[in-house]
Structure 1
């Protein structure tokens, strides 16, 4: 996808215009998906706290949604962030251990579905550009490319089996009780482990094959 390689041509203002909408949708729908699936299994905590809404203001985390993405935009051609976690109480579910696996998977799966949506946006932009509507087509292509990248990265990252990531919660749900408890003890240190993996380059080594495969698959699907 050539769009992902030409982001360096954009000014900071243009980058913000391209990335902000895909990022907000990616993290908002990720959290809403968790809460919605939890409600299907009997836990109405997210609904009662007013978090089953697409209003981004209800999900914004000052650090993860604003500060970190802005700083990353200043030093790179990619931004990453997170929203406030949607509250979920497994005790309200009919089968807490099993149901939590589905609740955890809902977030990454929503990101992969959104990546497909943004692929369609990029394709429509490409068609508009070829049809002579460059003023509309070029922004859609850029935004579609950004949406694919953000959602694929978020989806793959969250599937890593490390608490408190969604993959860690899925692993806890399928492990025997004693092993799941042992894994849960890692959760307070999960963020620091993730940062360490990122700075050592190991996180990129683990994620890159899956990220590039999915981006390539979406590009091939839409002929981008």
Structure 2
């Protein structure tokens, strides 16, 4: 029983991340210059890493209920990002993607022992659990906008929510792409023939980088961001709120001058 409880105990590392998120979020709410941009940066990075932990936890939890009891022993149920199999893919690269392009793109991190799981539907649900978590977070973060509940909310905090919501939207959409190495392919893979899986397997390590690289192609980037802006607008989030959130986040480029819209 003690071992089982330890496998589900929330990690101090995760609690520390939540504390940083809370403290920096409070500072952003206070909207206190001259460090407003730095507080926004810390708030968004810590909140983004927390969401990555929730994304991976969702995979692990779905795997646990599908028959892979090994996820507990691996530490995946503690929300500890240091327990992930690829710290570079799970934490470092997603944070770099945000800094470089303002794109939310989680990487694969938990190792599921698939031979323990029976049924293609279960395999697909395990892969879908992560991006579905991002979609749920996107709904939660955009709720103040589409509920028109932002009266009295400081501008810097509002912009931070908008940018965080956009990160969750892009994470859900991009991770659902049927590209080897992403969760969308994991949803599709159980339904492919053995031959097709063998042919696509070598491309899995490069899928994440390939998607990010494609987003730097002007035509693809324009099409993608136009779609994101349209979706965000349908959720009540103005494009300028997201843009100001990104500008505050990149505090080293200088604090933006906010104008009325």
Q: TM-score, normalised by structure 1?
A: 0.73
Q: CA deviation at 1:184?
A: 2.2
Q: CA deviation at 1:13?
A: 0.8
Quote the Cα distance in structure 1 between the aligned partners of 2:223 and 2:178. Answer: 12
Tell whether the 8 Å contact from 1:105 to 1:170 is kept in structure 2 after alignment: yes
1:173 to 153, 171, 190: 190
What is the CA RMSD across the aligned residues, in angstroms?
3.2
Q: Which runs of 5+ in 2 are unaligned?
A: 1-34, 242-261
Q: CA deviation at 1:182?
A: 2.1
Q: CA deviation at 1:92?
A: 0.8
Quote the Cα distance in structure 1 between the aligned partners of 2:232 and 2:97. Answer: 25
- 1:182 corresponds in structure 2 to 199
Q: Does 1:53 align with 2:78?
A: yes
- 2:181 corresponds in structure 1 to 164
Task: Show the 5 A alignment for 1:85-164.
Answer: 85-95=109-119, 97-120=120-143, 126-129=150-153, 137-164=154-181
Q: Which runs of 5+ in 1 are unaligned?
A: 1-9, 130-136
Q: CA deviation at 1:79?
A: 5.8
Quote the Cα distance in structure 2 between the aligned partners of 1:210 and 1:193. Answer: 20
Deviation digits for residues 91-125 of structure 1, max 9, x if unmatched? 11122x33221111111110010011112356687
Question: Residue 84 and residue 177 in structure 1: after superposition, are their counterparts in 2 closer, same or farther (change >3 A)?
Answer: closer
> SS of 1:105's equivalent?
helix
- 2:40 corresponds in structure 1 to 15
Question: Residue 25 and residue 182 in structure 1: after superposition, are their counterparts in 2 closer, same or farther (change >3 A)?
Answer: same
Number of residue pairs the alignment of both structures matches: 202
Tell whether the 8 Å contact from 2:89 to 2:109 is kept in structure 1 after alignment: no
Q: Does 1:196 align with 2:220?
A: no
> SS of 1:155's equivalent?
helix
Deviation digits for residues 146-170 of structure 1, max 9, x if unmatched? 2201101111110111110111112
- The answer to which of 28-37 and 60-69 deviates more is 60-69
> SS of 1:193's equivalent?
helix
